[in-house]
Amino acid sequence: MSLPSVLAMVPEDSGGPYVIAAYVVFLTIVVTYVAIMAQRLGKLSRKADEIEARLDARDAAAKAGSGSVPDGSPAAVPAEPSKAPEGVA
Amino acid sequence: MTVRGLRPLSILSVALIAIGFGLVFFYAPLDADQGFRQKIFYLHVPLGIIGLIGFIVGGWHGLRYLRTGDPSHDLKAYVYIHQSQIVAVMVLITGAIWGRTAWGAWWRWDEPFLVSFLFLFLIYATYQVLRFSIDDPQRQARAASVFAVAAGAFVPVNFTVVRMANEYLHPRTLDNAANGGLPGPVLVTFLVCFGAIAVLYVTLVKYELLSKSTTFRLRALERRAGGDDLLPRRSAVLQA
């Protein structure tokens, strides 16, 4: 069943196009919201994973006893990860 | 909550919405009075009920924050209220569309149901303004929680008072349902759509909470990378 054939079945005399519009508005808002959230979440996750990998590599190097700190890293770095911020559900 | 945990919930949401909308258009009978336009009811009414429940749940979490001081409740109050604001926008839009087809007008100022819902929406529209106008994180969370509790308590009061109005145009769907006035196929379709919207709402709440927790993780990693682990703690929502 194609979309035009479905739309052709919609009665125009009792607000058919308006009903379709209401459902389209609902789906548009939900899909747009999910798309924005997915994009944001993906960006944040990638960035967090990237930083975590760099920190792990730096910690591993420090534990190996090299004593050297990779370029660009600050000299004073806490060995343990910071406590998770409050409010994380 | 992880992405993995969200996946089944998301799939369930999509499946229930597909089933619900399928029932709306291919199973539920046409209403004798309203005809095809009555089908907005299966979308508009569940959205309205879920949105109001979300505001109340937000108030409940605000109350729990005030009692325990646990910032996760403040965060949940924020997320529930935010999601209900989005749902409220959809309620107003779908309601206006139905009004246009049924009454010939997008809006009626003499209808208590409409005006009271708009009033409630506008009250909640000030939530973020109040919240982010306060810099101190603890004061911010406390003020926002007091707001959430007061506004959340107002929701059922407002709902009850409006239903006591003698003159109204807006249909009383819940009264019909409670009195067994809805035919079987209509009731089944309504319940499936209600379940679909409820699951979708919970999914979106979890989704936003996951987004916030990922933000917190990133901030913690940035502090760790910067050696700046002694930064004063900020409120959960402010950090996000």
pLDDT in tens, B13-65: 999 999 999 999 888 888 777 778 888 989 999 999 999 999 999 999 999 99
The reply to whether A7 touches chain B by the CB within 8 Å rule is no
Q: pLDDT grade, residue A16 (50/70/90)?
A: confident
For residue B37, the model assigns a pLDDT of 83
User: Do the domain assignments include residue A85?
Assistant: no
If you average pLDDT over residues B66-85, what whole number do you get? 94
Closest by CA to B173, choosing from B40, B56, B41, B47, is B41
The reply to whether A54 touches chain B by the CB within 8 Å rule is yes
User: Do the domain assignments include residue A39?
Assistant: yes
The residue of A32, A51, A82 whose CB has the most chain B CBs within 10 angstroms, and thus the best one to mutate to test that interface, is A82
Q: What is the DSSP letter of B40?
A: G
Partner-chain contact B86 A29, CB within 8 Å: yes
Q: What is the DSSP letter of B166?
A: S
Beta bridge partners, B35, equal B31
Beta bridge partners, B31, equal B35
User: Do the domain assignments include residue A50?
Assistant: yes
For residue A60, the model assigns a pLDDT of 85
User: In terms of CA atoms, which chain A residue is nearest residue B40?
Assistant: A19
User: Do the domain assignments include residue B23?
Assistant: no
For residue B226, the model assigns a pLDDT of 77
In the predicted model, is pLDDT for residue B78 greater than 90? yes
A residues 12-51 near B, CB within 8 Å?
13-16, 18-19, 21-23, 25-26, 29-30, 33-34, 37, 40-41, 44-45, 47-48, 51
Full DSSP string of B2-39 = -HHHHHHHHHHHHHHHHHHHHHHHHTSPPBTTTBGGGG
For residue B216, the model assigns a pLDDT of 87
**Choice between B33 and A9, residue whose per-residue pLDDT is larger:** B33
Min distance A53 CA to chain B CA atoms (Å): 10
Partner-chain contact B39 A87, CB within 8 Å: no
Contacting residues for A50 by C-beta, under 8 A, at least 6 apart: none
Measured in whole angstroms, the distance separating CA A77 from the mean position of its chain's CA atoms is 28
The residue of A44, A45, A58 whose CB has the most chain B CBs within 10 angstroms, and thus the best one to mutate to test that interface, is A44
Dihedral-angle region of residue A73 (phi above 0 means left; psi in -120 to 50 means alpha; beta otherwise) = beta
Alpha helices in chain A (DSSP H): 3-8, 16-63
Nearest by CB to residue A22, choosing from B40, B215, B221, is: B40
In the predicted model, is pLDDT for residue A34 greater than 80? yes
In the predicted model, is pLDDT for residue B137 greater than 50? yes
CB distance B237 to B74 below 8 Å: yes
Q: What is the rounded CA–CA span in Å between residue B109 and residue B121? A: 15
% of chain A surpassing 90 pLDDT: 18
User: Do the domain assignments include residue A15?
Assistant: yes
| Tens-place pLDDT, residues B83-104 | 999 999 999 999 999 888 888 8
User: Do the domain assignments include residue A51?
Assistant: yes
Nearest by CB to residue A85, choosing from B89, B90, B220, is: B220
User: Do the domain assignments include residue A38?
Assistant: yes
User: Do the domain assignments include residue A42?
Assistant: yes
Closest by CA to B225, choosing from A57, A70, A85, A51, is A51
Q: What is the rounded CA–CA span in Å between residue B160 and residue B146? A: 22
For residue B131, the model assigns a pLDDT of 92
The 3-state DSSP class for residue A77 equals coil
The residue of B7, B23, B36 whose CB has the most chain A CBs within 10 angstroms, and thus the best one to mutate to test that interface, is B36
**Choice between A3 and B144, residue whose per-residue pLDDT is larger:** B144
Domain that holds residue A44: 3-60
Task: Give the ipTM.
Answer: 0.80
In the predicted model, is pLDDT for residue B140 greater than 90? yes
In the predicted model, is pLDDT for residue A30 greater than 50? yes
Domain that holds residue B81: 37-212
Q: What tokens does B180 get? A: 């067994």
Size of interface A-B (CB pairs under 8 A): 143
CB distance B51 to B84 below 8 Å: yes
The CA-based diameter of chain A, rounded to the nearest angstrom, is 80
User: In terms of CA atoms, which chain A residue is nearest residue B73?
Assistant: A87
- Residues of chain B contacting A47 with CB distance shorter than 8 Å: 218
CB distance B148 to B59 below 8 Å: yes
For residue B217, the model assigns a pLDDT of 86
What's the number of domains chain B is made of?
1
For residue B66, the model assigns a pLDDT of 95
For residue A9, the model assigns a pLDDT of 65
The residue of B216, B230, B235, B237 whose CB has the most chain A CBs within 10 angstroms, and thus the best one to mutate to test that interface, is B216
Q: pLDDT grade, residue B229 (50/70/90)?
A: very low
If you average pLDDT over residues B122-151, what whole number do you get? 93
Q: What is the pTM of this model?
A: 0.81
Partner-chain contact B218 A82, CB within 8 Å: no
Q: What tokens does B63 get? A: 């109350």
For residue B227, the model assigns a pLDDT of 58
What's the number of domains chain A is made of?
1
CB distance A54 to B218 below 8 Å: no
